[in-house]
Structure 1
Amino acid sequence: MSRRLPRRALPLCVLLTGVLTGALVRTMPAAHAHAEPPRPRAAERGPVGMFQESATARLQSDGSLSDVAGLSKTDIWAVGQEDVWEAWQNRGVITHWDGAAWTEVGIRNDASSAGHLRSVAAATPREIWAVGEGHDGLPYVVRGDGSVFDRVSVPQLGTGDWLGGVDAVPGRMVAVGGRGGQPLIATSTAKGWTTVKGKSKGMLYGVALTRKGDGWAVGDGGSQPLVMRLSDGAWKSVPTPSIAGGYLRDVSMQGPKKAVAVGGVYHDGGKISPLILEWNGKRWRRAEAPDRYAELYGVTGDGKGHFWVSGFDPAHPGEAYLLRGGSGWRVVRGEESARPRTMRLQAVTHVGDLTMAVGHVVDAADRYTDVIERFQPAEAKSDAAAPVRTTGAPTAR
């Protein structure tokens, strides 16, 4: 699952190019209305036989989606935030895709209300978790059964603790973040809650689990990437390649011998180069990325050795940007925009033949709108789908 740092309070909404048929889930008040985007152009076969469709979940002003988790093509959950001008505050959002429409789902015992929800995980159709921050200053944890969510009280968490990532398998949930400048891992099982504070400095942003009890958590150690491993019921730090200025935002694993972690490397002048680490069962090694500069946020796998990464390309800020990997990494781009905009895809999930990435679009006036990008094989396209472009040959492993 993918996690994001908090962002500043944001102004109004923005136009988004392209909308999926049936994707609108509610009528917006005039003060929060989105401009109606034009229909995407008719599709032609792309170089990798993939097609793209753009949509929005129609969040309110300054909506942004931070994470997405899918169980099937008709059972996908996403979380984020939107501004509620009447309350003068941001509000956490949980929304569900049933294959035809996005529908927001509420939180029942929500006296103080959620702020920014950063991460979501779906263990089963009736066990969905999300984490973020509450307006009461405490980390925010919710659990849902597919129809409604409830805030979960975690006695071991307190003011100053921060949660940025979550993953879950049946019977076990793990949320990661930080406490006092050190990594924090909170685990829920049938026996209750436990928390572990790492010995090193840093913060954790992403976590991945398997049903067999293995897991990885990744983050930022301050000057180097931070990786911790769950094995035999205990979390321990694991060495990574020495990468000054490196950090990790998300991780995806396919068994004990295959995992991918993504993030970036800070450079002078504010530039960020992409960072991809691959686990081969014995050690982490750095993989060659296709672009010199790009920001990578989320990663997911298909269970068959292939991975998708979502992010942002400063050289093509208005286009959807993903990486597709297996035996190497190549760029997959979405449709070009006729108007100035910046699109950041914060997270990605893959179910069946569907790859779905979520994030936000910012227009020239600094107005935000949530965005959802769907990628599918050519044979699964709709008549309104737009072609997908790839650039460059796959990078060597």
Structure 2
Amino acid sequence: MSRRTPRRALSLCVLMAAVAGLPLRATSVAHAHADPGRPRAERTAAALLQESATARLRTDGSLSDVVGLSTTDIWAVGQQDVWEAWQNRSVLTHWDGSAWTEAGIRNDPSGAGHLRSVAAVSPRDIWAVGDGHDGLPYVVRGDGSVFDRVSVPQFGSGDWLGGVAAAPGRVVAVGSRGRKPLVATAGAKGWSIAKVKSKGKGTLYGVAVTARGDGWAVGDDESGPLILRASGGTWKPVDVPHTDGGYLRDVYVDGPRKAVAVGGVYRGEGDISPLVLEWNGKRWSRAEVPGRRAELYGVTGDGKGHFWISGFDPAHPGAAYLLRGDGRKWKIVRGETPVRSRTVRLQAVTHVGDLTLAVGHVVDDRDRYTDVVERFQPGSTPSGEAAGTGTPEATGSRAPVEK
């Protein structure tokens, strides 16, 4: 799929073309990853176990984003009936350590067409954004048990939201308006459209903010990757390495001197190279990652300098694919190779405690979609026996992960 379509549903195949959008991924403390506290010690990739499961969505379901507050408090969003562009339904589902449970949106019985991004300030302050069947951007807020659609008068028909981030007292949603970058913020006084100094066309897909008020938003414009930085209430573009055909889909902030943005470089139909940019406190630079071809969608971290990136490797389409970095080097973490033909795309990833959990979808040899939840966790015991955080309804066997 061409990167230059109006909604740029790049590399998420015909699923996103059907709904004129794309699922996005998670980002940092605020976009989905509330601080999980002190993580357990990092272990080598060879010590990880992988398990494939599902949240048991209805026919043709896909998960777009995930946020982890703890190993027993995880939220994921997406859609069901993906082929029915005007009848598809949003998904808002919760993992409590034992089972996935879908939550409804009580003041909108029709349901959003597609939820793309989720963020959590705390277990009682959850946000999600996407598309509504009324043609307007869709914003949801909940306390963990009850969710409502939030009316935002500043949004109009044609506005599009791709990502959301949240910190105490602050919510930021990003997307596009008239093919130009859109940043909307909410605080004690309600919603407002932030000033964006980018002059050209462009779309934002991922955002991360911190409790200090810092923020990054990523996407692409007509020339390549686009990164905006929050400064005094204004979002300003910053210099990025020149990359023809480049785009960004997600960003994670690990402090004032460390951030990671991920995406790809479009070289032609079906030919996309991975793109990882790293912030060192002064500038963004391109990181060296293994493999010539891969599509990267989501990024997360543990707040201690370790990062995980979710995506798709066309050389191994049936195996779950992650990149893991320690600030010096990136390594591939790959799941079990399936017996039957399938394609696995991991759209987003979260990391809490010693659990790395990625979500997305599987397409089988009959073009049928099934949501997928891939978990990676250290240890040699079956994950269902470890600390009460096992995943039920496993669809694949536990398998060691290669370095």
**AA partner of residue 223 (structure 1):** S
- Once residues 99 and 358 of structure 2 are traced to their aligned partners in structure 1, the CA distance between those partners, rounded to angstroms, is 16
> For the residues of structure 1 that align with 2:91 and 2:204, how far apart are their CA atoms?
22
Q: 3-state DSSP class of the match of 1:7? A: helix
Q: Aligned equivalents of 1:72 and 1:288: distance in 2?
A: 31
Q: CA deviation at 1:9?
A: 4.1
Which residue is 1:108 aligned to?
106
Question: What corresponds to 1:97 in structure 2?
Answer: 95
Instruction: Count matched residues.
Output: 355
1:7 to 3, 16, 31: 16
CA offset at residue 53 of structure 1? 1.1
Q: Mean alpha-carbon deviation: is it higher for 69-78 or for 86-95?
A: 86-95
1:31-57 Cα distance to aligned partner (Å, 9 max, x none): xxxxxxxxxxxxxx9962101111100
**Are positions 1:386 and 2:384 aligned together?**
no
Q: Distance in 2 between matches of 1:246 and 1:57?
A: 33
CA distance in 2, matches of 1:191, 1:283: 34
Deviation at 1:113, TM superposition (A): 2.3
Contact 1:116 1:132 in 2 (8 A): yes
Supply the distance in 1 between the matched residues of 2:154 and 2:356 (Cα, whole angstroms): 36
1:85 and 1:182 map into 2 onto residues whose CA distance is 28
Shift of 1:170: 1.3
C-alpha contact 2:61 2:82 (8 A) present in aligned 1:
no
Shift of 1:88: 6.7
The answer as to 2:202 corresponding to 1:215 is: no
Partner of 1:132: 130
- Deviation readout 1:95-124 (Å, 9 max, x if unpaired): 000011000000011054200100000111
Whether the aligned pair in 1 keeps the contact of 2:252 and 2:301 (CA below 8 Å) is: yes
Q: Which residue of 1 aligns with 2:37?
A: none
Unaligned runs of 5+ in 2: 1-6, 10-14, 20-42, 386-396
Which amino acid in the other structure matches residue 273 of structure 1?
S
Decide whether the 8 Å contact of 1:262 with 1:277 is kept in 2. yes
* AA matched with 1:208: A
Aligned twin of 1:287: 287
Aligned residue type for 1:372: V
Deviation at 1:201, TM superposition (A): 1.4
SS in 2 for 1:390: coil
Asked if the contact 2:60/2:82 (under 8 Å) is kept, the reply is: no
**What whole-Å deviation, never above 9, does each CA across 1:268-324 have from its counterpart, x for those lacking one?**
343000000000000000000101000000000100001000000000000000000
Q: Distance in 2 between matches of 1:84 and 1:286?
A: 35
Segment drifting more, 90-99 vs 269-278: 269-278
The reply to whether residue 229 of structure 1 matches residue 241 of structure 2 is: no
The answer to whether the 8 A contact 2:180-2:202 is kept is yes
Q: Which amino acid aligns with 2:144?
A: G
Q: Deviations over 1:22-76 (max 9, x none)?
A: xxxxxxxxxxxxxxxxxxxxxxx99621011111001011100000001100110
In structure 2, the partner of 1:315 is 315
Letter of the structure 2 residue corresponding to residue 89 of structure 1: Q
- Distance (whole Å) between structure 1 residues aligned to residue 140 and residue 268 of structure 2: 39
Tell me if structure 1 keeps the 8 A contact 2:86–2:113: no
Q: 1:232-260: CA deviations, max 9, x gaps?
A: 33211111000000000000001111000
Task: Evaluate the alpha carbon distance shift between residue 389 and residue 85 of structure 1 in structure 2; reply closer, same or farther with a 3 A threshold.
Answer: closer
Counterpart selection for 1:165 from 158, 163, 166: 163
CA apart distance, 1:386: 1.8
Q: Does 1:246 align with 2:255?
A: no
Whether the 8 Å CA contact 1:4–1:164 is kept in 2: the answer is no
Q: Which runs of 4+ in 1 moved over 3 A?
A: 3-6, 84-88
The residue identity in structure 1 corresponding to 2:267 is H
CA contact (8 A) 1:330 1:390 kept: no
* Identity, % of aligned positions: 71
In structure 2, the residue corresponding to 1:48 is in which secondary structure?
helix
Separation in structure 1 between the aligned mates of residue 17 and residue 201 of structure 2, nearest angstrom: 25
Name 2:376's counterpart in structure 1: 375
Alignment check: 8 A CA contact 2:127 2:140 kept = yes
Task: For 2:374, give the aligned amino acid.
Answer: E
Amino acid at match of 2:96: D
**CA drift at 1:8:** 3.9
Q: 1:191, CA displacement in angstroms? A: 1.3
SS at match of 1:207: strand
Map of 1:363 onto structure 2: 364
Moved more, 214-223 or 245-254: 214-223
- Contact 1:60 1:84 survives alignment (8 Å): no
CA deviation after TM superposition for structure 1 residue 379, in Å: 5.4
CA RMSD in angstroms comes to 2.1
The answer for the alignment partner of 2:299 in structure 1 is: 299
Q: Give secondary structure in 1 for the equivalent of 2:108.
A: coil
Q: Contact 1:120–1:128 at 8 Å: present in 2 too?
A: yes
Q: Between 374-383 and 67-76, report the one with greater CA deviation.
A: 374-383
Query: Quick one: structure 1 residues 196 and 380, their matched pair in 2 at CA, closer, same or farther if it must change by over 3 Å?
Result: farther
Q: Give the conservation status (yes or no) of the 8 Å contact 1:4–1:118.
A: no
> What does residue range 337-352 of structure 1 map to in structure 2 within 5 Å?
337-352=338-353
Q: Give unpaired runs (5+ residues) of structure 1.
A: 11-44, 392-397
2-structure distance, mates of 1:243, 1:8? 25
2:238 & 2:17 partners in 1: Cα distance? Answer: 33
Match of 1:13 in 2: none
